[in-house]
Amino acid sequence: MKIAVGCDHAGYVLKGAVIDFLRARNIDVLDLGAYEYDKEDSYVDPAFRVGGAISDETVDAGILMCGTGYGISIAANKVPGVRAVACYSPESAKTAKAHNGINVIALGGRETKPEDVPAILGAWLDTEFEGGRHLQRLNKIAKAEKSALNLHTQAGGKITIFTHPLIQHKVGIIRSVETSVKQFRELLNEITGLMVYEITRTLPLTEKEITTPIQKTIVHTIEGRKMAIIPVLRAGLGMVDGILQIVPNCKVGHIGLYRDEKTLKPVEYYCKLPFDIEERDIFVLDPMLATGGSSSAAIELVKKRGGKKISLVCLIAAPEGIERVHADHPDVNIFSAALDSHLNDHGYIVPGLGDAGDRLFGTK
Binding footprint of ligand RB5 on the chain (CB under 6 A): 8, 10, 43, 66-68, 70-71
CB of 58: closest distance to ligand RB5 in angstroms?
A: 24
Minimum CB distance to ligand RB5, residue 71 (Å): 3
Within 10 Å of residue 321's Cβ, how many Cβ atoms?
28
User: Which is the catalytic residue, given 263, 286, 328, 363?
Assistant: 263
Which of 31, 259, 328, 331 is catalytic? The answer is: 259
Does 331 qualify as catalytic in the annotation? no
Rank residues 71 and 274 by Cβ distance to ligand RB5 and give the closer one. 71
Report the half-sphere exposure of 267 (CA within 13 A, side-chain side).
8
Distance, CA of 171 to CA of 49 (rounded, Å) = 14
Least distance to ligand RB5, CB of residue 10, Å: 4
Task: Give yes or no for a contact between 123 and 91, defined as CB atoms under 8 angstroms apart.
Answer: yes
CB of 41 or CB of 286, closer to ligand RB5: 41
Q: Which is nearer to ligand RB5, 77 or 179 (CB)?
A: 77
Shortest spacing between CB 314 and ligand RB5, in angstroms:
28
Shortest distance (Å) from residue 7 CB to ligand RB5 = 8
What DSSP assignment string belongs to 258-282? EE-TTT--EEEEEEE--TTGGGSEE
Task: Give the C-alpha distances (Å, rounded to integers) separating 121 from 21, 92, 185, 253.
Answer: 8, 11, 43, 52
260 is known as an active-site residue? no
Spatial contact of 283 and 246, defined as CB atoms under 8 Å apart: no
Q: Of 68 and 103, which CB lies nearer to ligand RB5 in the complex structure? A: 68
Q: Return the exposure string of 75-108: e unless at least 16 CB atoms fall within 10 Å of the residue's CB, then b.
A: bbbebbebbbbbbbebebbbbbbbbbbbbbbbbb
Tell me how far apart the 2 most distant CA atoms of the chain are, in Å: 68
Least distance to ligand RB5, CB of residue 87, Å: 14
358 catalytic? Reply is: yes
Which pairing describes strands 227-233 and 216-222: parallel, antiparallel, or unpaired?
unpaired
Query: Is 221 annotated as catalytic?
Result: no
Nearer to ligand RB5 among residue 74 and residue 98 (C-beta): 74
Closer to ligand RB5 by Cβ: residue 62 or 71 = 71
Nearest by Cα to 101 from 70, 66, 129: 129
State the Cα–Cα distance between residues 335 and 318, nearest whole angstrom.
Answer: 12
> Which entry of 20, 31, 331, 358 is annotated as an active-site residue?
358
Which residues are identified as catalytic? 259, 263, 355, 358
